[in-house]
Structure 1
Amino acid sequence: MKIVCKRNDLLKGVNIVSKAVPTRTTVTILECIKIDASSDNIVMTASDTQLSIETKIDGTIEDRGIIALDAKFFSDIVKTLTSDTVTIESDSNFHTKITSGKAKFETTGRSGEDFSPLPLVPSNNPIVISQLALRESIQQTIFSIADSNDQKPMTGEQFKIEKNHLRVESLDGHRISIRNITLNEELNNNQEDYDIVISGKTLNEISKIINGGAEDMVNLYITKVPEEKKNEVTQFIKFEFDNTTVVSTLLPGGYYNIEQMFSSEYQTKVKINRKELLDCINRATLLYAIEGKKEPFVMNVTEGNMELNIRTFNSSFDENIEVEKEGMDIDIAFNPKFLNDALRVIDDEDVTLYFINPKAPCSIKDENESYIYLILPVNR
């Protein structure tokens, strides 16, 4: 195999597929990036068996072939090159030369044939969503997933597609995040309904790879499995965008019934400037730097005013913010991180908080419910 490509194109491809290289594995071929120049395109691939990524890069194929190179070593090489053009050639024994300007590396690769192909996901009837909407929906909810495999469904996000509507949900036992998106009707006029759970790792990597353009689209393809076989058959989701394809296994089993955790009733409704509240939280949590124990963040809402405070053994913080209040006064405490995570991804100038009582969850949502955050209070 012999290919010639631009250094920047090669680096971009390496950075994309490297996100699927496992940090630990007993299958050594998975520590590699496959470069496939056996046909008319240069295609790079990496996989950890649960997540597979392939991307096409521009370049000239002078001699067709396939090679697998150690991902870390190859990535480190490409990052250090300074010349515009890179030549990669390998012989039948996988001896590989990487040349760029005056620099020349030699290494021994592996057979690219040892790489398993991407799982087959039929490319028909896609769900089409803008890269901007997909990235925002992930970034505005992903912080609420759990990091413990003891709660496997919580380590992913639920994607519910019904007609021209996408609902993204996540929860970790202390909070819930929801993002509602209206899909382009013309691009999704023959769409089936889906209710799936996508790995948080996959979604995190997708949000980093896509460019986030409002006019750039992502096609999602999902393997359709009969309801009675969902726990027996592995389901996959495929993302196609630009010159990249990402295939991931879906998390098995059902998600939690989030709807039953919400209530339309409230005793107190508070409208507050988002940035003022966020800045206040950031100031208040400075106390944590000098205290071993993280005390709760207390909100005391009265007519026209929200008093916020943290009390620790050696220190205290107090601040007042003007608010618009409807309903009863309330005194309630939260983990400030959960409030911070929700507030920092909301774009609105003002946010509205809904309270039932000091023991019940607080919800933050807009009038159209394009975003909903439910946060459990803490005991004092």
Structure 2
Amino acid sequence: MKLVFAKGNLLKSVNIVMKAVPSKTTMPILECILIDASANIIKFTSNDMELGIETIVEGTIEERGIIALDAKIFSEIVRRLPDSYVTIETNDNFMVTITCENSKFNIPGKSGEDFSYLPMIEKNDCITISQFSLKEVIRQTIFSIAANENNKLMTGELFEIKNNILKVISLDGHRIAIRKIELNDSYEDKKVVVPGKTLNEISKILSGEIEDKVNIFFTDNHVMFEFEQTKVVSRLIDGEYFRIDQMLSSDYETKVQINKREFLSCIDRATLLVKEGEKKPIIINIEDESMQLRIDSPMGSMKEDIHIEKEGKDIMIGFNPKFLMDALRVIDDDMISIYLVNPKAPCFIKNDEENYIYLILPINFNAMR
């Protein structure tokens, strides 16, 4: 095999497939990137058996072939090569020579025939959205998935298609994030749970341009995201996702409209007095046209008043400041609406169209005094 690449094209493709190379595995072949130039195109593939990525690479095939290269050493070599043309050659013993200007590396490869290829996905069940929309909906929900795997379903996000609306939901037991996107075409109803790891990695690859499209294909066990020259295939998470509709009550006793940037900045200042990992609530006291935020910790205390527009009752309630900040950071609106029932019930941050809904459980700050 003999291939020639521009360094920029090679590095871009290596960076894409590195996202599905496992850090630990009992199968050494999976620590490799598969370079397949056995046909008329060059494909790079990685696969950790949960997530797999395949991308087509721009380059010249001088001799066809297939080889698997240790992903870590190959990526580090490519990263450090001069910005010029890179030649990759193999011999019958799977030895690989990488040449770029005056640099020449010889590294061992492995038979490409031993590599675990990505599962075949039938391209029947598909939706198409812009890369911008997918990247945004991931950004606006991914922070609410659970960090540990005690409940596998909480480490993923529900993708639900109903009445030509794509609804994406994440939750971790303390909060829920919901985003809705109106689809341009008519699609069958569908519910799948996509791993958060998959969505995180896809978000890093997507261009985020409105004009660029991504096709999403569903099967019973897998989902495939196809965009530009890249395919990302992931196992789905099995199980029935949580029924959250009963938690999304439209009843409220207090409605607050507030400047988002001002609210976020105030909480950010308050957290200066809280050590990382310390569970100190921010106490919010709503009276008339004013919201007072207060935090007390061994490092000191802080109070600040913000002007608001209020409907309904006065209320005092406590929250984990991080949970509030996570939600506020991904909302693009200048003014936001917060709906509250009582100090023990969750608050809702949502717009009138309910394109986004963020539910956050309160903290019983009286018990922490």
Match of 1:261 in 2: 247
Which string of whole-angstrom CA distances, capped at 9 and with x for unpartnered residues, describes residues 145-176 of structure 1? 01221100000000001242100000000000
Instruction: Report the alpha carbon displacement of residue 82 of structure 1 after superposing the two structures with TM.
Output: 1.2
Match of 1:150 in 2: 150
The 1:221–1:293 alpha-carbon spacing in structure 2 relative to 1, beyond 3 Å, is closer
1:343-362 map, 5 Å: 343-362=328-347
Question: Is residue 370 of structure 1 aligned with residue 355 of structure 2?
Answer: yes
What amino acid is aligned across from residue 16 of structure 1 in structure 2? I
Contact 2:273 2:299 in 1 (8 A): no
Contact 1:128 1:219 in 2 (8 A): yes
Which string of whole-angstrom CA distances, capped at 9 and with x for unpartnered residues, describes residues 115-148 of structure 1? 1221111112420011011011001000000122
The 1:206–1:298 alpha-carbon spacing in structure 2 relative to 1, beyond 3 Å, is same
Partner Cα separation in structure 2 for residue 312 and residue 322 of structure 1:
25
SS at structure 2 position matched to 1:104: strand
TM-score for both structures, normalised by structure 1: 0.94
Partner Cα separation in structure 2 for residue 148 and residue 379 of structure 1:
24
Partner Cα separation in structure 2 for residue 213 and residue 113 of structure 1:
37
Identity %: 56
What amino acid is aligned across from residue 205 of structure 2 in structure 1? I
Partner Cα separation in structure 2 for residue 259 and residue 102 of structure 1:
63
Instruction: Report the alpha carbon displacement of residue 314 of structure 1 after superposing the two structures with TM.
Output: 4.4
Partner Cα separation in structure 2 for residue 119 and residue 204 of structure 1:
21
Instruction: Report the alpha carbon displacement of residue 34 of structure 1 after superposing the two structures with TM.
Output: 0.5
SS at structure 2 position matched to 1:149: coil
Instruction: Report the alpha carbon displacement of residue 294 of structure 1 after superposing the two structures with TM.
Output: 3.5
1:177-196 map, 5 Å: 177-185=177-185, 189=186, 191-196=187-192
What amino acid is aligned across from residue 135 of structure 1 in structure 2? K
Which string of whole-angstrom CA distances, capped at 9 and with x for unpartnered residues, describes residues 292-350 of structure 1? 84421010001110000101134101100000000000000000000000000000001
**Matched length:** 365
After superposing on structure 2, the runs of 4+ consecutive aligned residues of structure 1 that deviate more than 3 Å are 291-294
Match of 2:43 in 1: 43
1:121-160 map, 5 Å: 121-160=121-160
Which string of whole-angstrom CA distances, capped at 9 and with x for unpartnered residues, describes residues 25-45 of structure 1? 111000000000000101000
Match of 1:333 in 2: 318
1:96-111 map, 5 Å: 96-111=96-111
CA RMSD of the aligned region, Å?
A: 1.1
TM-score for both structures, normalised by structure 2: 0.97
Gaps of 5+ in 2: none
Partner Cα separation in structure 1 for residue 278 and residue 2 of structure 2:
60
SS at structure 1 position matched to 2:274: helix
Which string of whole-angstrom CA distances, capped at 9 and with x for unpartnered residues, describes residues 39-98 of structure 1? 010100001000000000111000000011000100000000113100001011100000
Contact 2:47 2:117 in 1 (8 A): no
Gaps of 5+ in 1: 226-234
1:270-309 map, 5 Å: 270-289=256-275, 293-309=278-294
The 1:49–1:333 alpha-carbon spacing in structure 2 relative to 1, beyond 3 Å, is same
Contact 1:222 1:238 in 2 (8 A): yes
